[in-house]
């Protein structure tokens, strides 16, 4: 922890399979253009061997034919079988459905992340001043409480306390969710109407065009800032941003008098005046 090695883990765990997919996708270009490709492929093969031996998944079962074909340009290289096994693991896990997109597919990585995050959230109380300085250097100690879903922006950004994280995690339990990859709507909606409004605003190609056209005509021309969660539109960007914070359960504006938190600054300022009247 104090060596800063946990600082990279959120990114590495959330994106490792994207890097593998990107390498396979660009395989032909790599073989044509890479300098010292034999040495690079040898090093990658060693890394993949270490990765698969350390994480005891069922790498050798369920090879997927389309993954074998996708890795075909590496067929004559020693890393081919390992690459196909890992690609098959990624493909099979993602085919499990919507919920699988948000989860860590390797049990060992999931367990390590949970262990490390608990250590970061509750570091040893007997740390020296020097150790505390190192801790603050590598980690944002104001936002240590993070979401567990790898597709969520708060998987790496985090919240100031456990209650704020819990409010956010509750959003993920909403039953109506957008199936578009990397969309804000993956955090879910409370009802089908909100999901439909979101799709009309952000994914009109997924909706009935006539219905979408009517919806667009009905909107005010100057309300060009749409909420990524429910599709509600606003005339000003900062109003939309404050509205989205309420969806995420964020309350960044805190009363210095009593500690009560608010989503919007104006609400907090209005609340503070209540304390002033009581003096």
Q: How far is CA 243 from CA 47, 56, 137, 161, 203, in A?
A: 45, 44, 33, 21, 20
Beta bridge partners of 145: 159
Average the pLDDT over 18-42 and give the result: 94
Average the pLDDT over 190-201 and give the result: 80
Q: pLDDT tens-digit profile of 239-276?
A: 778 777 776 777 788 888 877 777 778 777 877 776 77
pLDDT band at residue 20 using 50, 70 and 90 as cut-offs: very high
* CA dihedral for 64, 69, 70, 71, sign (positive or negative): positive
Q: How far is 265 from 239, CA to CA, in rounded Å?
A: 11
Which one has a higher pLDDT value, 218 or 54? 54
Q: pLDDT tens-digit profile of 155-188?
A: 888 898 899 988 888 877 776 777 776 666 666 7
Quick one: which of 259, 101, 236, 247 has its CA closest to 180?
101
Find out whether 241 and 226 touch, Cβ atoms under 8 Å. no
Q: Which long-range contacts (CB under 8 A, 24 or more apart) does 58-62 make?
A: 59/85, 59/86, 59/89, 60/85, 62/88, 62/92
Task: Provide, rounded to the nearest whole percent, the portion of the chain with pLDDT above 90.
Answer: 35
pLDDT at site 185: 61
Average the pLDDT over 6-27 and give the result: 92
Question: Per-residue b/e over 19-44, b at no fewer than 16 CB within 10 Å?
Answer: ebbeebeebeebeeeeeeeeeebeeb
Q: How far is CA 95 from CA 88, 90, 91, 101, in A?
A: 10, 9, 6, 9
Q: Which long-range contacts (CB under 8 A, 24 or more apart) does 128-134 make?
A: 131/2, 134/2, 134/4
CB-count burial class (<10 Å; 0-12, 13-18, 19+) for 118: exposed
């Amino acid at each position: 922890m104090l060596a800063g090695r946990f600082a990279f883990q959120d990114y590495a765990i959330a994106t490792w399979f994207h890097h593998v997919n990107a390498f396979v996708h660009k395989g032909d270009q790599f073989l044509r253009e890479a300098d010292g490709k034999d040495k690079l492929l040898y090093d990658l093969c060693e890394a993949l061997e270490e990765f698969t031996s350390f994480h005891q998944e069922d790498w050798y079962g369920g090879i997927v034919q389309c993954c074998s074909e996708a890795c075909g340009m590496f067929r004559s290289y020693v890393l081919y079988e390992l690459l196909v096994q890992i690609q098959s693991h990624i493909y099979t896990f993602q085919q499990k459905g919507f919920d699988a997109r948000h989860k860590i597919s390797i049990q060992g990585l999931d367990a390590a992340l949970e262990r490390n995050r608990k250590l970061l959230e509750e570091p040893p109380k007997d740390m020296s001043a020097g150790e505390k300085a190192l801790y603050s250097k590598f980690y944002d100690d104001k936002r240590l409480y993070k979401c567990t879903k790898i597709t969520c922006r708060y998987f790496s950004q985090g919240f100031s306390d456990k209650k704020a994280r819990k409010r956010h995690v509750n959003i993920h339990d909403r039953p109506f969710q957008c199936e578009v990859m990397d969309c804000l709507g993956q955090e879910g909606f409370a009802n089908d109407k909100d999901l439909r409004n979101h799709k009309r605003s952000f994914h009109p190609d997924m909706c009935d065009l006539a219905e979408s056209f009517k919806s667009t005509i009905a909107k005010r021309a100057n309300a060009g800032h749409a909420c990524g969660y429910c599709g509600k539109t606003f005339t000003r960007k900062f109003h939309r941003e404050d509205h989205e914070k309420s969806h995420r359960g964020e309350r960044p504006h805190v009363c210095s008098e009593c500690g009560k938190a608010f989503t919007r600054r104006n609400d907090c300022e209005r609340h503070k005046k209540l304390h002033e009247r009581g003096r």
